[in-house]
Structure 1
Amino acid sequence: MPLHRHVFFIAGFDPKSPRYYHRLYRELAAHRPPGAEGTEHGPVQVGERRRLNDWADEWEVHWPQAGAAPLRTRYTLLRWDDIVRAHWERTAANVWRDHWNFYVDGARQGFFGRAWRASRLNWFFIVFPLCLALLLAGCWAVAAWLLCAIVAVPTPVGSVAVGVASALAGWWTWRRLSHRTGTDWLMRLYGFSHAQAAGRVATLDVRVDAMASMMAEAMRTNAPAQEVLVVGHSTGATLAASALSRALALSPSPGPQGPALGLLTLGHCTPLVYYFATARILRNELDALTDHPDLTWVDYTAPADWAGCGQIDPWHRPGRARLQRLSPRFPKILTAGHYQSLKRNRLALHMQYLKPSDHAGRYDLLAFTAGPGTLRGRHPPAPAASPHSS
């Protein structure tokens, strides 16, 4: 059976293993909404996961067709969860470091001015964790002052004791509230983005080079796939763009006889890296990528997604590539109750790009990655490519 598509998927800043993402993809295939593309021909078959090496797992997907052999897709998950786990620990020192690096050093580098000019809404999402931390610190400082004033603490030692107790209570409150609102998870992402922009994650750079080598091999004209599609979710969108740019430097053009070339980014947050002045390498990679005439880059990011930058381009500047920025329109493809529950759980909303929808719609990750056609064929040039509401 000929290979229709070779998909390379890179997950976001998530310590979960490939087993989790293989299960997500199987659920995506098993729970198709009524009227979704291809449902009239039977279920999509997702094969067993097999390990290729320490940083790549793979499975096959068969999309049924009427009167023809199923379309065969090779789905390769490129791992970096081990690197995420190495940066996942949350001590008080780590929390303080991440806030200082991202907000203080980010302000020094002009990060927030760039974000403000690009999108007021995304700027608010980005500064929300800091606002929450400052609000809690202020509330507990006032509480400590009032307690000292009301009780009339007689000694400096007593005042220090009240201060320490208030600091511990503030830390406990922040941990509970930040976990509930998702800001603790966001600060993990923000702190890592600062380190990534500064080039301080050496293991990540080596891993991206390895990813690029595998992509370049798949793009060579003797490869059997009709399309090479790179998919990146969340922070994985940044890695996907970087790896694909390096792959094209190794194998500059698939040529007319080679596979179609697509990049699909979901819930992207690339500006969290390329807005830092230190991220010169990434900006150069993005510019080289968007200037490639054979590339189709389509981004689906919901404006309501706090972890994504739905109102900012995932690319640094446009070029000769076909670029489209769209919204998955979650309110249209999810029931009202389902969508409202996601808006109360920001992490769940950010993961919805990879999960089944309730209603059929234009956004269909399974069809994009396993169905007929190509990313370019499914997304012809449009006069207006800005996201719709959601």
Structure 2
Amino acid sequence: MTRPFRRRVLYLPGFDPMPPRRYRELYRRESRKQAQVGGYDLTMEKPALGSGFGWRTRAHFPEGEAEAQVEVLVWADMVQASMQGGILATYAQMVRTAWIYIGSGALRRLMRLRRGPVLAALYPFAVLLLQLLGAIMVAALVGWAVAALTGLSWLAAILALAAAWGTLALAERQDHRLFAHYLMHDYAFTASLQGAYPPGLEARLAQFADRVSHALSEDIDEVLVVGHSSGAYLAVSLLADVLRRGAVTTHSPALALLTLGHVVPMAAFLPRAHRLRADLSYLSDKPDLFWLDVTAPGDPCSFALCDPVAVTGVAGPGQRWPLVISAAYTRTLSPRQQRALRWRWFRLHLQYLCAFDQPGDYDYFAITAGPRPLAERFAGRRPSPGRITTPAGPGLP
């Protein structure tokens, strides 16, 4: 009897303060939908003891059977810590982040790629400024009314300040709908050291590298690292570290990298992102892995079809990775599903991890739980038309 195909999946989320169980429940819900569409059977189980937070899958596909152990590489605690500053800290981050992106020329370089994600990046700045303007107007109105009624200028000033603060606090409490504060924290974290990784994040990446290296020593068929959004560029640095360690040997399972909805230029174009730019260049010509990059023009939060290596300006003559393809929402989502997701920017950015009702060759659940390695599944696949390779970033020193 042929043994099932065995895989370890290590999933690296983007800048997300939510606990990792969110991804387990998302996988559970969406895998059921995709399995029905795809005509295969996929079940989830509890993970093995000591394997970190995650789950196991067992799947039956027409091509064969497969087992996978999925682990979420958790850094949500670091995200949560970076979001604790309050309203004044958020506005201070806004000023500093704007200064870094504009003063360094990164914003100008980003505008040369795709304006969609840049406009999405400007969204929190616009919303926060509008909220501040609204708070000032409310304060002026309250101050005028109190002064007119009481003639006490000191009372008018106090109540005006209280009204302004209350307006800003109310706006912050609505951020679960607007996401302006959340996005501001995201961009501020990326720009906190002008593109260099904070020491705490470097330490966490080293821990993740230990997990990947351990997986590469197991008796399995494939180790698949998945990075989504900001997690995509962290996954690049993670695998660059793993390869530099020499963790891949002739006896190792196949190593694959899947980057989804990447925002690499937002980090790589910053002045001190030397580490990330070097990692992109290093990984781009290595024969020890297969790297697939998936984006979609219908996702306004990603740099769709931008080759993250080439546009950063670090591609060498031997570049072989990544293979850049489109999730092609206009073809892989039915008109009904497209209408349901219209204007839901964040849900569209998460779609790579969800079910498609008209899937093409990109099927997240077949990739992570099916019996074919990523390199075999996309062997001979050409990059999608419209791939952008024109260098716009600062390149290597």
Settle same-fold status: TM greater than 0.5: yes
Alpha-carbon distance in structure 2 between the residues aligned to 1:365 and 1:264: 10
Corresponding residue number in structure 2 for 1:128: 123
1:100-111 paired onto structure 2 within 5 Å? 100-111=95-106
Equivalent runs, 1:189-208 vs 2, <5 Å:
189-195=186-192, 197-199=194-196, 201-208=198-205
**Residue number among 16, 19, 23 corresponding to 2:18 in the alignment:** 16
- Structure 2 Cα separation of the partners of residues 269 and 99 of structure 1: 19
Give 1:175's match in structure 2, choosing from 172, 196, 218: 172
**Distance in structure 2 (CA, Å) of the matches to 1:159 and 1:328:** 57
SS of 1:230's equivalent in the other structure is strand
Change (3 A) 1:73 1:318: farther
How far the C-alpha of 1:209 sits from its partner, in A, is 0.8
CA distance in structure 1 between the aligned counterparts of 2:305 and 2:284, rounded to whole angstroms: 18
The match for 1:45 is 43
Report the more deviating stretch, 330-339 or 179-188.
330-339
CA distance in 1, matches of 2:155, 2:55: 63
Letter of the 1:358 partner, please give it. D
Instruction: Note the C-alpha offset of 1:284.
Output: 1.1
Q: Given the superposition, is the C-alpha separation of residues 90 and 329 from structure 1 closer, same or farther in structure 2, using an over 3 Å criterion? A: farther
Aligned partner of 2:9 in structure 1 is: 7
Match status 1:260 vs 2:247: no
Shift of residue 195, structure 1, vs aligned partner: 2.6
Q: Which residue of 1 aligns with 2:393?
A: none
* Matched pairs, number: 378
Deviation at 1:368, TM superposition (A): 1.0
Cα shift at 1:115: 0.9
Structure 1 SS opposite 2:270: coil
Q: Secondary structure at the match of 1:118?
A: coil
Residue in 1 that maps onto 2:232:
237
Whether the 8 Å contact between 1:102 and 1:190 is mirrored in structure 2 is yes
Residues 271 and 314, structure 1, Cα contact 8 Å, conserved in 2: yes
- State yes or no: 1:89 paired with 2:84: yes
Q: Report the Cα distance in structure 2 between the residues aligned to 1:281 and 1:383, rounded to whole angstroms.
A: 27
Q: Secondary structure at the match of 1:72?
A: strand
What is the aligned partner in structure 1 of residue 372 from structure 2? 373
Shift of 1:157: 3.7
The counterpart of 1:209, out of the listed 206, 209, 234, is: 206
Alignment gaps of 5+ in structure 1: none
Task: Write the distance in 1 (CA, Å) between the matches of 2:117 and 2:159.
Answer: 38
For the residues of structure 2 that align with 1:196 and 1:73, how far apart are their CA atoms? 37
Report the Cα distance in structure 2 between the residues aligned to 1:298 and 1:261, rounded to whole angstroms: 12
Q: Provide the rounded CA distance (Å) in 1 between the counterparts of 2:362 and 2:56.
A: 22
Report the Cα offset of residue 142 of structure 1. Answer: 5.3
- Tell me if structure 2 keeps the 8 A contact 1:295–1:321: no
Query: Cα gap change, 1:387/1:365 in structure 2, threshold over 3 Å: closer, same or farther?
Result: farther
Which 4+ runs in 1 deviate beyond 6 A?
A: 146-152
The one-letter amino acid of 1:300's match is V
Quote the Cα distance in structure 1 between the aligned partners of 2:130 and 2:67: 53
Q: CA deviation at 1:291?
A: 2.4
Structure 1 equivalent of residue 392 of structure 2: none
Q: Which is worse superposed, 378-387 or 208-217?
A: 378-387
| 8 Å CA contact 1:4, 1:225 repeated in 2 | yes
Q: Is the 8 A contact 1:44 1:64 kept in 2?
A: yes
Aligned partners of 1:375 and 1:207: how far apart in 2?
26
Q: Which amino acid aligns with 1:244?
A: L
**1:160 Cα deviation from its structure 2 partner:** 3.2
The DSSP-based 3-state class of the residue aligned with 1:293 is: coil
Q: 1:219 — aligned with what? A: 216
Percent identity over paired residues: 28
**1:303 aligns to what?**
297
Deviation at 1:210, TM superposition (A): 1.4
Query: Which residue identity lines up with residue 45 of structure 1 in the other structure?
Result: T
Instruction: Tell me if structure 2 keeps the 8 A contact 1:119–1:311.
Output: no
1:382 matched residue in structure 2: 382
User: Could you say if the C-alpha distance between residues 143 and 333 of structure 1 is closer, same or farther in structure 2, counting changes exceeding 3 Å?
Assistant: same
Contact 1:325 1:385 in 2 (8 A): no
**How big is the shift at 1:321?**
2.8
8 Å CA contact 1:237, 1:266 repeated in 2? yes
Q: Residues 162 and 302 of structure 1: is their aligned pair in 2 closer, same or farther, counting only changes over 3 Å?
A: farther
Q: TM-score, normalised by structure 1?
A: 0.84
Aligned-partner SS, 2:28: helix
1:32 aligns with 2:34: yes
- Paired position in structure 2 for 1:62: 58
SS of equivalent to 1:8: strand
Residue deviations 1:325-349 (CA, integer Å, cap 9, x gap): 2332234333434433433333322
Kindly provide the CA deviation profile for residues 130-186 of structure 1, in whole angstroms up to 9, marking residues without a partner as x.
Answer: 122223434554566678789985675466357525633541464256542322221
Q: Distance in 2 between matches of 1:143 and 1:61?
A: 55
- In the alignment, the residues of structure 2 paired with residue 218 and residue 343 of structure 1 have an alpha-carbon distance, to the nearest angstrom, of 39
1:325–1:386 Cα contact (<8 Å) kept: no
Mapped to 1, the partners of 2:29 and 2:59 lie a distance apart of 15
In the aligned structure 1, how far is the partner of 2:221 from the partner of 2:109?
Answer: 39
In the other structure, the counterpart of 1:346 is 345
* Residue 323 of structure 1: aligned partner: 322
Note closer, same or farther for the CA distance 1:33–1:381 as it changes in structure 2 (3 Å cut).
Answer: closer
Q: Alignment RMSD, CA only?
A: 3.1
Q: Deviations over 1:290-323 (max 9, x none)?
A: 1213332222223343433325433333353332
